[in-house]
Amino acid sequence: MAMTVKKIIDLLNKDLELEYSAAIQYINHSAVMSGASYGDIIKELKIHANEEIQHAMALADQIDYLGGKPSIDVGKIYTADDNVEMLEQDLAGEEDAIKRYKIRVEQAEDMKEYALAQQLRTILAMEQEHAMDIKQALGK
C-alpha cells in the first residue's frame, strides 16, 4: 500500500499525541514515586519527560513542514499507586513507541522524506535508551 502525505501526517499526529501523553505521564510518575532506592530512576524519568517534549516539538515541526496541522490532542495517560506498576506502564509506552517509530522510519524512507526519516531515527534511538533505563530499574 502506497503511503501518501496525508496518511503519514495522520500517523505522525498519533505519534505526537503519544509524545504529549508520555511527557505528562513521566511528570506524574517522577513526582509521585517514592523510596530511597528509586532516587536514580526518578531523576531519569524527569529527563525522559523533557526528552518527550523535544520529540513532540520535532514531530510538530515535521507535520507542519509536510503541510499538516499538528494535533493538540493528548493520548491516554496511565498512572498507579505502586512504583513498579508505574515503571511497567512507562516501559509499555516505550515499547509501543519503539515499534511505531521503526515502522515510521521505513515509511518516511519509502516516501523519500529523508530528513523526516533522520529525525525519526534520532527519536527511536532515544526511546530505546528510555526503555533500557526503565528495564534496568525493574531489574529486567
In the complex with Fe ion, the residue whose CB is nearer, 4 or 92, is: 92
Rg of the chain on CA atoms, in Å: 16
104 binds Fe ion (CB under 5 A): no
- Residue identified by cell 509521585 is 32
Among the listed residues 22, 13, 14, 12, the one whose alpha carbon sits nearest the alpha carbon of residue 127: 22
Q: Which cell numbers hold the place of 53?
A: 517534549
44 binds Fe ion (CB under 5 A): no
Contact assessment for residue 110 and residue 46, using Cβ atoms and an 8 Å cutoff: no
Q: Minimum Å distance from CB 38 to Fe ion?
A: 18
Phi, psi of 6 (to 5 degrees): -60, -45
Tell me the window of 32-40, 57-65, 111-119, 122-130 that interacts with Fe ion (CB under 5 A): 122-130
Q: Minimum Å distance from CB 1 to Fe ion?
A: 26
Tell me the window of 6-14, 48-56, 57-65, 69-77 that interacts with Fe ion (CB under 5 A): 48-56
In the complex with Fe ion, the residue whose CB is nearer, 38 or 128, is: 128
Within residues 50-79, the interface with Fe ion by CB under 5 A covers 52, 55
